[in-house]
Amino acid sequence: MKTIKGPSLHLAQFSDDVFPFNRLETVAIWAADHGFAALQIPAWDSRLLDLTLAAESQTYCDELIGMLASNGLAISELTTHIFGQLMAVHPAYDALCDGFAPEHLRGKPAARTEWAHAQLLLAARASARLGLTDMGTFSGSLAWPYIFPFPQRPAGLIETAFDELSRRWLPVLNACDEQGINLCFEIHPGEDLHDGITFEMFLERSGNHPRCKMLFDPSHFVLQQLNYLEYLDIYKEFIRMFHVKDAEFNPTGRQGIYGGYQSWNDRAGRFRSTGDGQVDFKSIFSKLTQNDYQGWATLEWECCLKNKEDGAREGAAFIRDHIICVTDNVFDDFAAAPVSQTQINQLLGIR
């Protein structure tokens, strides 16, 4: 067993055009002051990272690592969720997803996907130069609009969607393998990989690719009413990233999992600041430790009630308090006595 690393902070919800969140150098000071030991950097945010330069220049990466180290911080991982989303966009979401791409690619789905593919390759190279081993992403979604359809899904629709999804991702998985990087898909509603079964469908079509891994975020499983503790045991060999994010599910006589098209504030299932929801983090940290999880515990703040400043400060302390420093001896070792094989045989009545 290993002691889980942390706390890390995912910067996607914190980066902004205002100080100190508009530059990595200043947000690093802020994060260190709030008790974080590492930063998870969104690779799509040029305010924080020059992705092309990071992929090409070891000097740039070394300077980045050095700057963070001077503030007592490391990089836990890069995330590429925006690029991953653009790898597979259902036409119903084209207009909404266009904003994730450069302006000259908007309205050009095929070119947009090619750009996202190229960005993912850069991110894999940048991750390697930064000395990282894991990279988070989304799978994108071709089939999601058909999750609960009427009329019913035609035969072959889901199989075709997953065949195409794996075809698009296999070159990226191969590129990650060349760089020694695990590609960790966040299992997330809205993505085609949204639970264990859909991950398995994709994994099989990718030829059980050794770099196909998972980012575990229990908040999404509370909202799906999926047994996330059992999930940890089933997929322990695949889980390489962990978002510490809370949620609650309080169904009523008027709404349940689907939320009735309500705002986050008024949904039965909603995200909460860490410690304010229903996620059993004590059991999660215990299981991850027992299962020899190798990575970081990273705060992802998303809350419809609490502000992010308090969420970050409380979240860092929450993670530190839940990390289990593993023991190097068994608690009853004090009562152990040396016993020879002859004595063992005698204890068992073996002649």
Q: Which of the 8 DSSP states describes residue 253?
A: S
Read off the pLDDT of residues 288-332 as tens digits, 9 standing for 90 and up: 999 999 999 999 999 999 999 999 999 999 999 999 999 887 777
Give me the amino acid identity at 223: L
Taking residues 71-83, what's their average pLDDT? 98
Domains of the chain by start residue, with CATH: 5-348 (3.20.20.150)
Encode 218-231: b = buried (16+ Cβ within 10 Å), e = exposed.
bbbbbbbeeebeeb
pLDDT computed for residue 334 by the predictor? 66
335: pLDDT confidence band, cut at 50, 70 and 90?
low
pLDDT computed for residue 338 by the predictor? 87
Helices (H), the chain: 24-33, 51-56, 58-70, 81-85, 94-97, 109-129, 157-179, 196-205, 218-224, 228-234, 281-290, 308-322, 341-348
Taking residues 259-270, what's their average pLDDT? 96
**How does the average pLDDT of the chain come out, rounded?**
96
Please state, as a whole number, how many other Cβ atoms lie within 10 Å of the Cβ of residue 109.
16
226: pLDDT confidence band, cut at 50, 70 and 90?
very high
235: pLDDT confidence band, cut at 50, 70 and 90?
very high
Residue 8 CA neighbour count, 13 Å, CB half: 24
Give me the amino acid identity at 56: E
Helices (H), 152-260: 157-179, 196-205, 218-224, 228-234
> Greater confidence, 347 or 36?
36
Angle of helix 24-33 relative to helix 58-70, nearest 10 degrees, comes to: 30
Does pLDDT of 16 surpass 90?
A: yes
pLDDT computed for residue 327 by the predictor? 84
CA distance 47 to 20: 11
Does pLDDT of 345 surpass 80?
A: yes
The residue written with tokens 């947000």 in the block is 27
Contact 168, 120 (CB under 8 A): no
